[in-house]
Structure 1
Amino acid sequence: MTTDPAPIVNTDAWLSWIEIDIEAIRHNFRIFRSLVPPTTAMFAVVKADAYGHGAIPVARALAQEGAEVLCVARVEEALELRGAGIATPLLVFAPPFGPQALAVAGQNIALTISSVEHLAAVSQAVAGTGADIPVHIKVDVGMGRLGIKPEDALTFAQVTTGRSGIILAGVMTHFPCADQGRGETTLQQLETFKEVRQAFHEAGIFPRYFHCANSAATLDFPESHLDAIRPGISLYGLMPSPDVIAQPDLRPAMAMRTRITLLKEVPTATPLSYGGTFVTKGPSRIATVPAGYADGYPRHASSRAVALLHGQRVPQVGRVCMDQILFDVTNVERVSVGDIITLFGEDEGNFLSAEELAVAGGTIGYEITTRIGKRLPRHVVG
């Protein structure tokens, strides 16, 4: 397999940046590939700019690894990948509207439909163009979001297959509780989806793909693998939740780094940052770094988060600002302006996960990686 070499980038001039380890994403993809037989397709999810990791470089790497389909949330994301020359079949999760359906016609971009209105939008868009649009019917087995009722799925499929220019390529669902261990709710919802599949087959309707397994279901519900799996967050080295039972050897692919721009010695009882909500308990050395909540660092983590400096944990102190964050580096020797502070990621053999930062900020790892601001340059390595 040939891979594109990462460009040589000098990060010495950068004050704050994101590092993306493409080889880690390849490694994680191979782990998920090893969990299923060769006949089960890999639908790799690269929505939301590949969970903040950069959709185009990630999609290229996953296409090279053999992903049969790349999944995105919106038509705009699919067209961005096509514009970058990525030819792998694409699946759009969001429901279509007429102009968007017309934009994907003939480009091997599948749309997800959940209602007669969605079907009509696709049918009207493709009428008279001579192009075909593949669709995946979504079935709602308990998410309460997108999806047609299980009892209506077969009739809807029969109507769909009767429309000119529309190819029924797949049927899918999404589990709301698969990341909560092997619970009865997910097992019952999987059984409902399998009953839908059985009804389709008995009626002589055989879409290429029945798929329902996200990262958590792939790991903890092997009976859910069916024709394809849809790993998302775990391709990037994050676990869906602490409740997932399986613990594969995933490698986190993102690190967030910044540099110290100012060191300040302050006395005991010095209030720091907005509102003076943090007050030093003794003489302290405070480092200021040029990152903040405008870059995606969670403000709710104020005075609860930590970072890594020379491999040592240092506490974040005071309120997180839009563009600046303060850290207490009193206990770290030989600290200088320009030294790198790792807000999450690996540093000198120690590791701070995005999930740990998420806990400090009262959120989830997904939100940490997807909310990283555009003003931070991405440095792709590996």
Structure 2
Amino acid sequence: MRHNAALLARTVAPAQLCAVVKANGYGHGSVAVARAALAGGARWLAVAVVEEGAELRDAGVDAPVLLLSEPPAGAMDEAVALGLTPTLYTAEGVEAASLAAARRETRTAVHVKVDTGMHRVGADPDGAVALALAVHGSARLSLGGFWTHLAVADEPAHDFTAEQLRRFDAVLGRLEAEGIEPGLVHAANSAGALAHPASRHGLVRCGIALYGHVPSAELAGLGPVAELRPSLTLKARVALVRELDAGERVSYGLRHRLERRGTVATVPLGYADGVTRRLWAQGAEVLVGGRRCPMAGLVTMDQLMVDCGPGAAAAPGDEVVLIGRQGNEEVRAEEWAARLDTITYEVLCAIGPRVPRVYVGEGDAHGSPADATDSHPSVAAGAARPR
């Protein structure tokens, strides 16, 4: 993650890099990701909700933290107390932030978000200008930034990104005409950072690229993408091995039938851990002994079964890689996403909280693969212990 952060920081310079660590750091662990990203050159962090910002502050992370969504009025006091930077896009949000700052007798920087066409959250252009004016005139608030979000930046052939940037520039021009300094201007996400240099402005918010994954297949050929390194490996250990005859069936519904005698291994990861139940039906494979082996039958809540083939040497304790590299083979999160007709983001964010995260790296490692294996027989970087 430090490598990816450093690569992205160089790519977007002179803009500042904002590392998006919401949703538990896209399943990787938000605090560890935040520290690695800051060490790699990120200047800002971004989260979705106040609770995520509180987790960073509780861990001693004191970098600027942007709240990507406007906090509800009841959470605004905590946001201000923690020194988080709220995004605002309603008049009610401006009032709540101003009152929260007044109660703490402080002045709080906020960012205003304008909706330029994605129509998720954000004020319309007229409303955004009005909010910026209100913040500008507030005794308790300062305009620290002004931003929008791109809807199709990961589709380089789509012309709507250029239209969004045109609309954004028009609103910025209106702020200038009103004599308002917008602070940090930002529009680019990972796809914008990689494919749309005009979107970079003063700050660039990178999420999926920080974790070593391309926002879409259409961007795979871009120069910096080739240097990104996937940050996560999902591993477990074989819990049980059995030889089954041809014709035997496996898992709920008895839907998987062995066509020949073979070795079936049980692995202590299931859909409660983010291994989606229907992966088997989509032909998903895992790595055992450096070979691709298909899942056997429906993934259950706590376990999945793997068809290791006839005469396989699999044994309890053997490493199983679900996402990552083993020997010369690799299963990428993108492969799961393609099988499930979804996106890599969802695959990574789905990895559940009972899967231990083991962080490996230079200087600040919390352990090494060897250490993890010795202390917890089924723990490696992002692995599950038997249950």
Alignment correspondent of 2:240: 262
Alignment map for 1:95-174 (pairs within 5 Å): 95-105=70-80, 107-174=82-149
Contact residue 105 and residue 132 of structure 1 kept, 8 A: no
Contact residue 305 and residue 361 of structure 1 kept, 8 A: no
Shifted more, 170-179 versus 259-268: the winner is: 259-268
Contact residue 263 and residue 311 of structure 2 kept, 8 A: no
Q: What letter is aligned with 2:294?
A: P
Shifted more, 354-363 versus 188-197: the winner is: 354-363
Query: What TM-score, normalized by structure 2, do the two folds share?
Result: 0.89
Q: 1:300-342, CA deviations, whole angstroms, 9 ceiling, x for partnerless residues? A: 2123210111221111121010011111111674322211110
Q: 1:15-58, CA deviations, whole angstroms, 9 ceiling, x for partnerless residues? A: xxxxxxxxxx11111111121233x1111111111111111111
Contact residue 9 and residue 42 of structure 2 kept, 8 A: no
Indicate whether 1:288 and 2:263 are aligned.
no
Contact residue 104 and residue 133 of structure 1 kept, 8 A: no
Contact residue 4 and residue 40 of structure 2 kept, 8 A: no
Q: 1:229-272, CA deviations, whole angstroms, 9 ceiling, x for partnerless residues? A: 10101100111121225233110011111111121211222221
- Report the CA distance between 1:288 and its aligned residue: 0.8
- Report the CA distance between 1:167 and its aligned residue: 1.1
Alignment correspondent of 1:177: 152
Indicate whether 1:305 and 2:281 are aligned.
no
Q: What letter is aligned with 1:342?
A: V
Alignment correspondent of 1:251: 229
Alignment correspondent of 2:372: none
Secondary structure in 1 aligned to 2:168? helix
Rounded to whole Å, the distance in 1 between the matches of 2:10 and 2:41 is 13
Alignment map for 1:214-229 (pairs within 5 Å): 214-229=189-204
Indicate whether 1:328 and 2:297 are aligned.
no
- Give ranges in structure 2 of 5+ residues lacking alignment: 362-387
Alignment correspondent of 1:19: none
Secondary structure in 1 aligned to 2:359? strand
Secondary structure in 2 aligned to 1:378? coil
Rounded to whole Å, the distance in 1 between the matches of 2:185 and 2:106 is 24
Rounded to whole Å, the distance in 1 between the matches of 2:271 and 2:313 is 28
Q: Residue 331 and residue 252 in structure 1: after superposition, are their counterparts in 2 closer, same or farther (change >3 A)?
A: farther
Rounded to whole Å, the distance in 2 between the matches of 1:180 and 1:115 is 30
Contact residue 4 and residue 212 of structure 2 kept, 8 A: yes
Alignment correspondent of 2:365: none
Q: 1:356 aligns with which of 306, 311, 335?
A: 335
- Report the CA distance between 1:210 and its aligned residue: 0.8
Rounded to whole Å, the distance in 2 between the matches of 1:177 and 1:191 is 14
Q: 2:2 aligns with which of 20, 26, 51?
A: 26
Indicate whether 1:201 and 2:176 are aligned.
yes
Indicate whether 1:271 and 2:249 are aligned.
yes
Rounded to whole Å, the distance in 2 between the matches of 1:248 and 1:224 is 21
Q: Residue 331 and residue 182 in structure 1: after superposition, are their counterparts in 2 closer, same or farther (change >3 A)?
A: farther
Shifted more, 70-79 versus 182-191: the winner is: 182-191
Contact residue 249 and residue 258 of structure 2 kept, 8 A: yes
Rounded to whole Å, the distance in 1 between the matches of 2:342 and 2:248 is 30
Indicate whether 1:376 and 2:355 are aligned.
yes
Contact residue 97 and residue 122 of structure 1 kept, 8 A: no
Q: What letter is aligned with 1:30?
A: A
Contact residue 31 and residue 248 of structure 1 kept, 8 A: no
- Give ranges in structure 1 of 5+ residues lacking alignment: 1-24
Contact residue 106 and residue 131 of structure 1 kept, 8 A: no
- Report the CA distance between 1:106 and its aligned residue: 5.0
Rounded to whole Å, the distance in 1 between the matches of 2:266 and 2:104 is 59
Q: What letter is aligned with 2:341?
A: G
Contact residue 96 and residue 121 of structure 1 kept, 8 A: no
Contact residue 262 and residue 312 of structure 2 kept, 8 A: no
Contact residue 139 and residue 153 of structure 1 kept, 8 A: yes
Q: 1:59 aligns with which of 21, 34, 46?
A: 34
Alignment correspondent of 2:293: 314
- Report the CA distance between 1:127 and its aligned residue: 2.2
Q: What letter is aligned with 1:211?
A: H
Q: Identity of aligned pairs, percent?
A: 37
